[in-house]
Amino acid sequence: MRRGFTLLELLMVLVLIGLLAATALPRMQPPAVLQLPQQVASLAADLRHAQALALTGGERLCFVSFAGGYRVSRYDAVAAACQAAALPDPASGQAFERQLPDGIVFDATSLGTLQFDTLGRPVDSTGVPLAADPARGYLLRAGSASSSVTVQALTGRVSP
């Protein structure tokens, strides 16, 4: 009577365990980490869309980021401030406001307002185009993972 396992049997079991681990481990990450690349792409597309709306609509728009999401609103020249209500999105007819999925948040340094003038350039709160050096960045975090979107000063180029 034979006792124990042969070397071939042990190797086959190790190979099977390795294959199972390779397919199961990526799926065990939190859903927010898996959604992060999609949210970064969506944020970049929405920044470009807001920029295009300012350019085609001939009005100054505000991109406001807050802890749970972001919105695009009109700039009120009389009040010298961004309006609280989100602009209607011409593409969908809905308010141009997005909520981030659970587990994905803006980094604290990414909160605030970015404005686009009628030429689609990023401007400061007084309407002066941003200086050439500091680009405006939006950093999204999901647990220990993070990814950013950058809006270049002067040109307004959006790059994820």
Q: Tell me if 20 is assigned to some domain.
A: no
Q: Tell me if 153 is assigned to some domain.
A: yes
In the chain, the N- to C-terminal Cα span, in Å, equals 65
Q: Tell me if 80 is assigned to some domain.
A: yes
Q: Which domain holds residue 120?
A: 32-159
Q: Tell me if 8 is assigned to some domain.
A: no
Each residue's pLDDT tens digit, 105-120: 888 777 788 899 999 8
Q: Which residue has the higher pLDDT, 132 or 72?
A: 72
Q: Tell me if 42 is assigned to some domain.
A: yes
Each residue's pLDDT tens digit, 32-70: 677 888 999 999 999 999 999 999 999 999 999 988 899
Q: Tell me if 48 is assigned to some domain.
A: yes
CATH number of the domain encompassing residue 134: 3.55.40.10
Number of domains comprising the chain: 1
pTM: 0.77
Q: Is 116 left (phi over 0), alpha (psi -120 to 50) or beta?
A: beta
Distance CA 158, CA 152 (A): 7
Distance CA 160, CA 148 (A): 6
